Amino acid sequence: MHKFLRLTLASALIGCGTLGVVTGLMTKEVKAVEIITHWVPHEVYGQIGEPDNNGKVFFSGLGAKYMGYPKHENAPPYPGKYSKFWRTLPAYRYYIPDYTYNRDEVRPSNPIKGTFTLEQCVGCHSVMTPGIVRDYKKSAHSKAEPSPTGCDSCHGNNHQKLSMPSSKACGTSECHETQYSEQGQGGIGSHASCSSFAQVECAWSIERPPGDTAGCTFCHTSAEERCSTCHQRHQFSPAVARHSEQCKTCHWGKDHRDWEAYDIGLHGVVYQVNKWDPKQFDWTKKLADADYVGPTCQYCHMRGGHHNVQRFSTVYTSMGMSMADRGAPIWKEKRDRWASVCDDCHSPRFAKENLQALDEACKDASLKYRETFKVAEDLVKDGVADPMPKDLAPDWSGQHVWSLKIGAYHDGEAYGGKTGESGEFRMSNCSDIERLCFESVGYFQTYIMKGMAHGSWNDATYSDGSFGMDRWLVNVKQDASQARRLVALEKKVGITWVPESFWKTGEWLDQLTGPYIVKNHPGKTIFDLCPDPGWLDTHHAPAEEIEYINRKLKELGMKAGEHGVHHGEAEHDKGARSQSEH
């Protein structure tokens, strides 16, 4: 105890810069307690002391010399409109293997040389990675006829040119071509766009340093690029992949609260209390033959085992953040198909009326968000937001576009940017009111949709759904009221307020893409530097979706662009209100 106190005192004295006094107190032998004592980071505060990269634990963060993502001249590229600004980490190679592992110029080095047979691989890895061999021997791959699908089949047999299998590797004509083709048929919001759009063309991911969004990348790329995310390697058991928990790794959390909603909803409760009983859930049966006592994620979203998770869904609304009248004639066919999934256990009327309730909840939530947004918008248009967009660090595009200017929905000088240039939802480098708006629609409004869709009334209302939007609406109004009163007082007494510099620059802010573009490409924006079409421009809707929309427009006598207007003889769903009623 005496030694611990002596070391703690020494730490405090060094933090104050009194190095000479400390020298007499310290022992030369480094003890564990000395390493984990919370030292003051000298380099951050400009104090005399040992370098921050000496391995000691520093209080309140450090600016050590070794920090920062690994930089190298031949950084693994990834295709996409903004790929030149999307920074990678070495660990990404396991999640995006075709681009960051399997190409010769980025393939990691390997000390083992030679070509090997399956038997030789198994023999060596029984010692080196016994867990992998144990799982492989339990797999259908190891028992395939006329010959096993083995290590060499997926990874290759040349140890200097081993491959990390991607979903494409599984989707060859000899293996799982049908499933691979089906998985790629979805549009925005499906597994098919999780990486190629939702990462490399997502402002959130492009703007930030890679360590800040590594979790986003691991999750999103896992869904599109790897079959093993759902089919656990190296057993790859279909029975395991049919469990709802298999979706839990990705589909839970703030803005995609699927698991929580399902888990505490009626369907999830039926699943949880019966999943161990093979008479209620026979996991050995294919999904096409499943007769479960309750629905799993896969039973509804991968109907019959089809790998396009959007096949039985209706119009995509960004997880509930966008408004759409799913009862409109153009969506009736898709709505009926969606309801047909519920018909296995419920009457058609029950299913359709519950879907109508979901639509009503989403519409009411959208009204609440529009009111919240309007308060924030008026502050910006009147020039009294604190801070204004121009007072912040450059945004992801190298400009000062208002963060809530999404797409081409809001245009004008007050919003910044050119017509059609989008801002980005974000929780930093913005005003507190903007953050509250983002959380209101990006978190709480999606809770409402996810809760209603999965039978979790708690999520829809109490657990930060509707009630969360209530709180944030009140907070935004209160903040706006105070901002306007403060501006009025400043004007009356003749104060010209100059925003604090910390809005424009900071140790973390300076790592963002916007400041980099301004510094290295003066006068240019990310739109100037990345003019080529992206995934969104060419893959927004798959061919099947385009065919459906064009066919329905023709049937209903509608023209593209006349949204919200019902033409022809088709009867509108009287149970669902049109948006024009609001």
Read off the pLDDT of residues 347-364 as tens digits, 9 standing for 90 and up.
Answer: 999 999 999 999 999 999
84 dihedral zone (left: phi>0; alpha: psi -120 to 50; beta): alpha
Distance, in Å, from the CA atom of 533 to the CA atom of 81, rounded to the nearest integer, reads 6
Distance, in Å, from the CA atom of 493 to the CA atom of 46, rounded to the nearest integer, reads 40
Is residue 564 classed exposed, middle or buried when 0-12, 13-18 and 19+ CB atoms within 10 A define those classes? exposed
Contact 377, 415 (CB under 8 A): no
Tokens of 497: 């307020």
pLDDT of 580 higher than 60: no
Is residue 100 classed exposed, middle or buried when 0-12, 13-18 and 19+ CB atoms within 10 A define those classes? buried
Q: What is residue 2's predicted lDDT score, i.e. its pLDDT?
A: 41
Look up residue 466 and give its amino acid: S
- What average pLDDT does range 417-438 have in this prediction? 89
Contact 93, 106 (CB under 8 A): yes
Read off the pLDDT of residues 45-59 as tens digits, 9 standing for 90 and up.
Answer: 677 777 777 777 776
Distance, in Å, from the CA atom of 158 to the CA atom of 142, rounded to the nearest integer, reads 20
Per mean pLDDT, which range of 29-38, 341-350, 497-506 is the poorest? 29-38
Distance, in Å, from the CA atom of 157 to the CA atom of 234, rounded to the nearest integer, reads 17
Average pLDDT, the chain: 85
Contacts made by residues 416-420, CB under 8 angstroms, sequence distance 24+? 416/389, 416/390, 418/527
Read off the pLDDT of residues 452-478 as tens digits, 9 standing for 90 and up.
Answer: 999 998 999 988 899 999 999 999 999
The DSSP secondary structure of 376-438, one letter per residue, reads HHHHHHTT--SS-GGGSPP-TTSS---TT--TTSS-SGGG-SSTT------SSSS-HHHHHHH
Q: What is residue 439's predicted lDDT score, i.e. its pLDDT?
A: 95
Q: What is residue 562's predicted lDDT score, i.e. its pLDDT?
A: 42
pLDDT of 106 higher than 80: yes
pLDDT of 409 higher than 90: no
Residues 6+ apart with CB under 8 A from 334: 313, 314, 315, 548
Q: What is residue 327's predicted lDDT score, i.e. its pLDDT?
A: 79
pLDDT of 31 higher than 80: no
Q: What is residue 65's predicted lDDT score, i.e. its pLDDT?
A: 55
pLDDT of 325 higher than 70: yes
Q: What is residue 503's predicted lDDT score, i.e. its pLDDT?
A: 97
- What average pLDDT does range 375-395 have in this prediction? 95
- What average pLDDT does range 313-324 have in this prediction? 85
DSSP 276: T
Per mean pLDDT, which range of 168-177, 257-266, 410-419 is the poorest? 410-419
Read off the pLDDT of residues 521-570 as tens digits, 9 standing for 90 and up.
Answer: 999 999 999 988 887 777 667 778 888 888 999 999 987 654 333 333 33
Read off the pLDDT of residues 160-211 as tens digits, 9 standing for 90 and up.
Answer: 999 999 999 999 999 999 999 999 888 888 898 888 887 888 888 889 988 8
